[in-house]
């Protein structure tokens, strides 16, 4: 038999009882303010802790970047200090190499094709290059038994003019030996090496006077076997000849190509217009780009050597008519 509807209805009421209306709030609760600050405080504290955690993790992540940035700034500061110190050192060393006071004065009277063109006054560096200044002054004054008088300029380049000096053979060599003068550039080469190491940058500036003391294009000596006293010994054969330390150049412009071969012994104090006049003399055109010249020089043809010596030679005769020291 089916149960009665009341039995079926009662469980439903038990399972789903009616929701009673909310009881009226007591008067003391209405008068007391609702504590709304507590959840807000908790929420605030929770958010501040979260922000603190995020900020700390972000700081840990940014810490290497900040350290590297600080280290980079420190390195830049050190580099700036080193650069300023290097500039101070270069500024301290450059005057000793460029702003040199001459100790003696010499002069050269020049003529072109027999026509006098003027006098060149040269100040010699007796303190910074004593050996070179002594050699130049002895050749200008004639104390070496020979002098630059009646000797020619043999090469005119765009940046400098070159004087041929005196010969280390023949009459010039005999006159030098009679006075005990030694036409050698060994002590000049040592002095050139010292100046080359102490003074960085271009030494042969416009207006400087230099003595040619070495040939940078000279090949190294060849080794050969020589029989001496019944024994074979290894000897070095010099290829070419070294300069005798009497040729000099006067730079019309800055000439860094001369730093490897010339020792600066002074500078032009007066008559630079005469030097520029010499530089305007027409010369034999250089023909080193010719394929015939290249092949001839490659196979060692003497005609190529003779032709190369004639390049940049002046067509006019540029001579030192008189020279000496100014007291």
Domains and CATH numbers, the chain: 104-170+182-326 (2.40.100.10)
Helix count (H) and strand count (E) of the chain? 9, 10
The candidate with the shortest Cα–Cα distance to 208, out of 136, 143, 141, is 136
CA angle 108, 110, 112 (to 5 degrees): 165
Residue 55 in tokens:
């900020």
Residue 209 in tokens:
């006077």
Per-residue pLDDT band for 134 (boundaries 50, 70, 90) equals: very high
- The C-alpha atoms of residue 153 and residue 99 are separated, in whole angstroms, by 28
167-212 confidence digits (pLDDT tens): 877 777 777 777 767 777 778 999 999 998 888 889 999 999 999 9
Sheet with strand 208-212: strands edge to edge? 153-156, 160-163, 248-251, 208-212, 262-270, 115-124, 104-112, 318-326
The whole-number pLDDT of residue 260 equals 93
Per-residue pLDDT band for 301 (boundaries 50, 70, 90) equals: confident
The answer to whether the pTM exceeds 0.95 is no
79-109 confidence digits (pLDDT tens): 555 544 444 443 444 446 767 899 999 999 9
pLDDT value at 249 more than 90: yes
pLDDT value at 160 more than 70: yes
């Amino acid at each position: 038999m089916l149960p009665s509807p009341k039995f079926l209805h009662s469980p439903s009421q038990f399972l789903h009882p009616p929701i009673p209306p909310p009881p009226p709030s007591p008067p003391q609760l209405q008068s007391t303010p609702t504590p709304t600050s507590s959840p807000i405080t908790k929420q605030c504290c929770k958010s501040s802790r979260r922000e603190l955690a995020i900020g700390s993790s972000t700081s840990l992540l940014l810490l290497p970047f900040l350290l590297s940035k600080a280290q980079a700034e420190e390195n830049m500061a050190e580099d700036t200090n080193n650069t300023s110190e290097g500039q101070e050192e270069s500024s301290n060393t450059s005057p000793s190499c460029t702003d040199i006071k001459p100790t003696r004065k010499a002069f050269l009277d020049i003529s072109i094709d027999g026509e006098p063109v003027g006098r060149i006054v040269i100040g010699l560096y007796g303190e910074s290059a004593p050996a070179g200044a002594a050699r130049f002054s002895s050749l200008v004054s004639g104390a070496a038994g020979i002098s630059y008088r009646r000797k020619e300029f043999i090469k005119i380049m765009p940046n400098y003019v070159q004087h041929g000096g005196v010969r280390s053979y023949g009459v010039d060599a005999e006159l030098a030996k009679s006075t005990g003068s030694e036409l050698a550039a060994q002590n000049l080469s040592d002095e050139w090496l010292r100046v080359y190491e102490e003074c960085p940058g271009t030494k042969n500036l416009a207006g400087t006077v230099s003595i040619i003391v070495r040939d940078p294009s000279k090949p190294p000596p060849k080794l050969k076997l020589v029989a001496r006293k019944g024994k074979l010994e290894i000897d070095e054969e010099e290829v070419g000849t070294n300069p005798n330390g009497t040729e000099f150049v006067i730079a019309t412009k800055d000439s860094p190509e001369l730093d490897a071969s010339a020792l600066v012994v002074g500078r032009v104090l007066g008559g630079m217009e005469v030097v520029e006049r010499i530089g305007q003399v027409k010369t034999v055109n250089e023909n080193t780009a010719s394929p015939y010249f290249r092949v001839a020089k490659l196979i060692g043809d003497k005609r190529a050597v003779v032709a190369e010596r004639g390049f940049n030679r002046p067509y006019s005769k540029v001579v030192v008519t008189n020279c000496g020291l100014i007291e």
